Structures are given as C-alpha cells and as structure tokens.
Amino acid sequence: MPVRIGFIQYRLQLLRQELERLVAELPALGALKVIITGDLLTEDIKPSSIIELIIVQDTDALYLDRIDFFVSHLRPNVGVEISVLTPNEFSNLESSNLTMFKKIKPEGVLYEL
C-alpha cells in the first residue's frame, strides 16, 4: 500500500510532540537518564515508526514492573518501546557487546541528572 504524500512528515511531527510530552514527565517519575534510539533519533521515519526509549532509574522493581510503571503513568498516545535499567545495569551495558548498547548514541541522550 503506498504512503500518502506528506504522511512521513506528519508521523515525524506526531512522534516529536509525544516525545516532548513524555520527556517533560519523566523526571517526576524518577528517571535519572533518558535516551532515545531508533527511527526518531535517525529521522528515518516510516509509517510504523515508534518512540524507542531507554530510561535509567534507581529502583528495586523487577524489569517488567519497571516498564509497566512508566507505561501506566505516561499513557503514550503513539507506539512506545521502553526499556528501564538501573544505573548498575546501564553501566554494565557499556562493557558488554549487547545490541541495546550499540543503539545508544551521544546525541540520543535527552535528559540526565
């Protein structure tokens, strides 16, 4: 199915607006660091593009409970993929060869305490 002319620009604008809203709310929810990855970072927008975030939070909650916490509080209006890591887990990523860390770019850091 062909994409309507102008849809990609519309999708980009929609994603940027939602990202701005989410990032404004994250510090109050305990986010120490917020990193964007994926299509929005590279601006390689497609009709299926979503917001991909890595959030660093000091918490003892289980991994899936962390994600549920942010999704239920933020109530995203577009597709969002959230990974929530503790500071220790995030620092361990730096010494790993995991795909998630390879996605992180310095320009993707949106917020950091």
Average of per-residue pLDDT across 69-98: 90
Query: Does the pLDDT value for residue 96 go beyond 80?
Result: no
Q: Which of 14-23, 65-74, 82-91, 99-108 has the lowest mean pLDDT?
A: 99-108
The pLDDT score that the predictor gives to residue 1 is 47
Q: What is the mean pLDDT of the chain?
A: 90
User: Which one, of 73, 82, 78, 66, lies nearest residue 34 by Cα?
Assistant: 82
pLDDT computed for residue 5 by the predictor: 63
Q: Residue 99 above 70 pLDDT?
A: no
Q: Is 53 within 8 Å of 85 (Cβ atoms)?
A: no
Residue 91 pLDDT level (bands cut at 50, 70, 90): confident
- In the chain, domain spans: 7-112
Task: Name which of 81, 90, 74, 78 is nearest 33 in CA terms.
Answer: 90
User: pLDDT tens digits for 17-51?
Assistant: 999 999 999 999 999 999 999 999 988 999 999 99
CATH of 7-112, one of 2.20.70, 2.60.120, 3.30.460, 2.40.100: 3.30.460
CA gap 39, 103 in Å, rounded:
11
